[in-house]
Amino acid sequence: MKLITILFLCSRLLASLSQESVTEEIDCDDEDVFKAVDAALKNYNNRIQSGNQFVLYRVTEVNKTVGSETFYSLKYQTKEGDCPVQSGKTWQDCDYKGAEEAARGECTATVGKRESTKFSVATQICQIIPAKGPVVTAQYTCLGCVHPISTESPDLEPVLKHAIQHFNNNTKHSHLFALGEVKRAQRQVVAGWNYGITYSIVQTDCLKKDFLLLTPDCKSLSGGDVGECTDSAYVDPQLRIASFSQNCNIHSGKDLVKPHPKICPGCPFEIPLDSPDLAEALTHSITKLNAENNETFYFKIDTVKSASAQVVAGKKFFIEFTARETTCSKEDNTELTESCEIKNPGQSLSCNAEVYMRPWEQKVYPTINCQVLEMTLLKKRPPGFSPFREVPGVKKGGGTIRHLMSCEYMGRPPKTGTEPKPESEAESSRLAQ
Ligand SMILES: *[C@@H]1O[C@H](CO)[C@@H](O)[C@H](O)[C@H]1NC(C)=O
Ligand SMILES: *[C@@H]1O[C@H](CO)[C@@H](O)[C@H](O)[C@H]1NC(C)=O
Ligand SMILES: *[C@@H]1O[C@H](CO)[C@@H](O)[C@H](O)[C@H]1NC(C)=O
């Protein structure tokens, strides 16, 4: 069955695009992040048989996936504490064990949030590095919990291969389709594995009547039809795909060619960070930045955080990026070149640029606005966070950076009667060096 879905409205198109970005990296100042880490660490501590509990050291990475249920994918580091497993204490009641004989750990966990308060661990892998002896890996998977997995997981490959074959075997479309992009994937561990996958497919130039199966010679057609499929598969313990169901919507390629300028003139839209147009806008931005600031050294673009464009009698780009000081001085170099290396330690800037281009007049109007980021913090940026102690943001040169320092777990809350201040400050400055 061929379903043609036509997208009429700009708003609907934009809404459906935004729905696709369900996973985002988030800051560690989210209270739920702490609850998710707490659940993961308790899960680990509850499963160790002997020795001491592990205590949070810092959270290094957090992704949040919002769908019918919210999931946190976390990476965090732990240090061995001074309370035995059987002590009846929770890890928050323990201090770090003396550094020389303490074990360290790094865990990756997926934690689901239910009914807005319950956090349950779906999967967790911890690498424990003892003071002496080999690294130990501990793995936990909740049976029956559905949880998101990486869209790049190699376990998806056989399922996707089967899915594309299934589509091509059953479609009435004249051409074969190839896999576009995997958008979401989830897994449930049962006796075997259940997978749910959402991905796009693209029309190739191979006619179905000429080719039985998709081959590497089949090239995707630009302007061809595209589709989105949501499949379920059960893979049995022998790794066979024992049951499979598929639901695909095909959109006619004609409807989707350059939808933004056609359907929604004037709407800003996100552009890919590798687009050639953006490269030009970035060159103008950094040239402007170097011309405007009075630093001795040239700055270069380090990372582009986001970019969007708007069609308005020309094209306007909105770009957010960070720039770093290079070793090329303005005195010895007439311009910034590829070979200019980032200076370390060096200044960093967080910038917003607007570049308005009117190609027919060969005119470019860049404006740029940057804030200075803390130099030493960027040398060593501590991720992770403290749920218990508020550490103020660090101010410098008018730019405020939030939460860079508050990302470390700094031990348990002070006992009544002890003075927390000097100790915690000593601790945090030591860690920041
Ligand atoms: C978070 O997402 C990024 C980008 O998709 C990925 O590279 C990273 O491994 C993810 N981190 C965790 C802890 O899942
Ligand atoms: C698709 O058809 C080919 C050729 O008939 C067959 O070998 C293959 O197993 C089929 N694949 C699926 C997933 O149905
Ligand atoms: C750079 O120096 C010039 C002249 O001294 C001054 O007008 C300008 O505001 C300075 N720019 C910045 C970014 O400090």
CATH classification of the domain holding 331 = 3.10.450.10
In terms of domains, do 59 and 107 share one? yes
Give a yes or no: residue 379 inside a domain: no
In terms of domains, do 93 and 12 share one? yes
Average pLDDT, the chain: 79
Query: Which has more pLDDT, 70 or 393?
Result: 70
In a 13 Å sphere around the CA of 171, the CA atoms on its Cβ side amount to 29
Residue 165 beta carbon below 6 angstroms from any ligand 2 atom: yes
Q: How far apart are CA 319 and CA 174, in angstroms?
A: 42
Q: Quick one: pLDDT band at residue 41, thresholds 50, 70, 90? A: very high
Q: Quick one: pLDDT band at residue 11, thresholds 50, 70, 90? A: very low
Q: Which of 94, 114, 148 is the last residue of a domain?
A: 148
Q: How far apart are CA 213 and CA 48, in angstroms?
A: 50
pLDDT of residue 132 exceeding 60, the answer is yes
Q: How close is the Cα of 66 to the center of ligand 1, in Å?
A: 14
In terms of domains, do 100 and 159 share one? no
- Which residues are near ligand 1 (CB < 6 Å)? 25, 61, 63, 73-75, 108
Query: Which has more pLDDT, 307 or 418?
Result: 307
In terms of domains, do 99 and 113 share one? yes
Q: How far apart are CA 425 and CA 433, in angstroms?
A: 12
Which pLDDT does position 420 carry in this prediction? 39
Which pLDDT does position 29 carry in this prediction? 66
Give a yes or no: residue 419 inside a domain: no
Give a yes or no: residue 27 inside a domain: yes
Which atom, in ligand 2's list, is nearest to the CA of 169? 1
In terms of domains, do 173 and 126 share one? no
pLDDT of residue 143 exceeding 80, the answer is yes
Which atom, in ligand 3's list, is nearest to the CA of 294? 1
Q: Considering only 228-242, 340-354, 391-405, which range has the smallest mean pLDDT? A: 391-405
Rounded to two decimals, what is the model's pTM? 0.55
Q: How close is the Cα of 288 to the center of ligand 3, in Å?
A: 13
Q: Where are the beta strands (DSSP E) in 259-296?
A: 269-270
User: Considering the chain, what percentage of its residues have pLDDT values greater than 90?
Assistant: 44
Q: Which of 339, 372, 405 is the last residue of a domain?
A: 372
Report how many domains make up the chain.
3
Give a yes or no: residue 237 inside a domain: yes
In terms of domains, do 58 and 97 share one? yes
Distance, C-alpha 394 to centroid of its chain: 25
- Which residues are near ligand 3 (CB < 6 Å)? 292-294
Sheet holding 70-84, edge to edge: 23-25, 52-66, 70-84, 104-114, 118-129, 136-141
pLDDT per position as a tens digit, 266-293: 677 888 888 888 999 999 999 999 999 8
Give a yes or no: residue 424 inside a domain: no
Residues found in the chain: 433
pLDDT of residue 137 exceeding 50, the answer is yes
Which pLDDT does position 238 carry in this prediction? 94
Give a yes or no: residue 398 inside a domain: no
What mean pLDDT is predicted for residues 324-336?
A: 92
In terms of domains, do 128 and 97 share one? yes
Which atom, in ligand 2's list, is nearest to the CA of 166? 13
In terms of domains, do 284 and 221 share one? no
Closest ligand to 369 CA? Answer: 3
Give a yes or no: residue 90 inside a domain: yes
Which atom, in ligand 2's list, is nearest to the CA of 162? 13
**Segments forming the whole domain that contains residue 196:** 154-255
pLDDT of residue 396 exceeding 50, the answer is no
In terms of domains, do 140 and 228 share one? no
Q: How far apart are CA 354 and CA 323, in angstroms?
A: 15
